[in-house]
A = this chain, B = another copy of it.
Amino acid sequence: MAGSDVKLVGIRPCPYVNRAQIALNLKSVEHEFIELNPYTDRDMLVKLNPVHKKIPVLIHEEKPVCESLIVVQYIDEVWTNGTAILPYDPYDRAIALFWASYIEEKWSPLLGELRKAEGEEEKAALMEKIWQGMALLEEAFLKCSKGKAFFGGDSIGYVDIALGGFLGWIKATEILAGRKILDGEKTAGLVGWSERFLLDKAVKDVIMEPEKLAEIYQRYQASKAN
Let me know if A91 and B67 touch, CB within 8 A: no
Decide: A105 and B102 in contact? CB cutoff 8 A: no
Interface size class of A (residues with CB under 8 A): 20 to 34
Q: Given that A67-B101, A105-B105 are known contacts, is A73 also in contact with B51, CB under 8 Å in the complex?
A: no
Interface assignment of A125: CB less than 8 Å from any CB of chain B: no
Q: Is A46 interfacial (CB-CB < 8 Å)?
A: no
Quote the shortest CB–CB distance from A41 to chain B (angstroms): 21
On whether A98 and B136 interact (CB within 8 A), knowing A74-B91, A77-B90, A91-B74, the answer reads: no
Q: A70 and B105 in contact (CB under 8 A), knowing A77-B93, A94-B65, A136-B51?
A: no
Q: Which residue of B70, B90, B101, B136 is within 8 Å of A94 (Cβ)? A: B70
Whether A74 and B90, one on each chain, are in contact in the complex, defined by CB atoms closer than 8 angstroms, is yes
Closest to A136 in B: B51
Count of this chain's copies in the oligomeric assembly: 2
A58 to chain B: closest residue by CB: B94
Query: Which residue of chain B has its CB nearest to the CB of A140?
Result: B51
- Could you tell me if B93 and A74 are in contact, using CB atoms closer than 8 angstroms? yes
In the complex, A224 has a CB within 8 A of chain B: no
Closest residue of chain B to A133, judged by CB? B51
Name A101's closest neighbour in chain B (CB-CB). B67
Contacts of A74 in B (CB 8 A): 90-91, 93-94
User: Majority SS of interface residues in chain A?
Assistant: helix
Q: Which residues from B are CB-within-8-Å of A67?
A: 97-98, 101
Interface membership of A143, Cβ < 8 A? no
Could you tell me which residues of chain A, from 94 to 119, have a CB within 8 Å of some CB in chain B? 94, 97-98, 101-102, 105
Chain B CB within 10 A, most for which of A60, A66, A91: A91
- Highest count of chain B CB atoms <10 Å: which of A51, A65, A73: A51
Known: A51-B102, A52-B102, A60-B91. 15 other contacts (CB 8 A): A63-B91, A65-B91, A66-B98, A67-B97, A67-B98, A67-B101, A70-B98, A71-B94, A73-B94, A73-B97, A74-B90, A74-B93, A74-B94, A78-B90, A105-B105
